[in-house]
Amino acid sequence: MDSGAIRRRFALGAAVLAASGALAFTAAGTAQAGSAGGCAGREVKTLPFKTGITHVYKRNGYVCAVTVARNPGAVQTMSVSVQARGSRPVVDKGRYRHHAGPVTVLAGHRCVWIKGAVGRHSTDSGWILC
């Protein structure tokens, strides 16, 4: 093999390595961005309503929820709560531009009740994930 062929193979290998590294960074950023508002785990339920959507995630016995406004930008009253059966609800309520939450509880194998609201409209799940 002559030195020109070696240089071409080296350049091709370096290009493939650089492309795979860039792809890895892009994939990691996409995975994090897909998680609404910072909840870990996989999305197990969405609760859409007129002015927003409440996303529910579960990971290792923890349940997390975040409520996202359908029309973000203007400051408006928003809330999200997660209650494991037999415990008090964990609530985030305030005036936000984009989302309320995340709120997380250790549910284990207990049922949870999720509530979300944006403005005057709201949703609740009833007991789920039992």
CATH topology of domain 37-128: Immunoglobulin-like (2.60.40)
∠ Cα 114 115 119 (to 5°):
160
Burial of 124 (0-12, 13-18, 19+ CB in 10 A): middle
Q: Kindly indicate the confidence band of residue 11, based on its pLDDT and cuts at 50, 70 and 90.
A: low
* pLDDT tens digits, 59-83: 999 999 999 999 999 999 999 999 9
In the chain, domain spans: 1-34, 37-128
Q: Kindly indicate the confidence band of residue 5, based on its pLDDT and cuts at 50, 70 and 90.
A: low
The verdict on pTM exceeding 0.75 is no
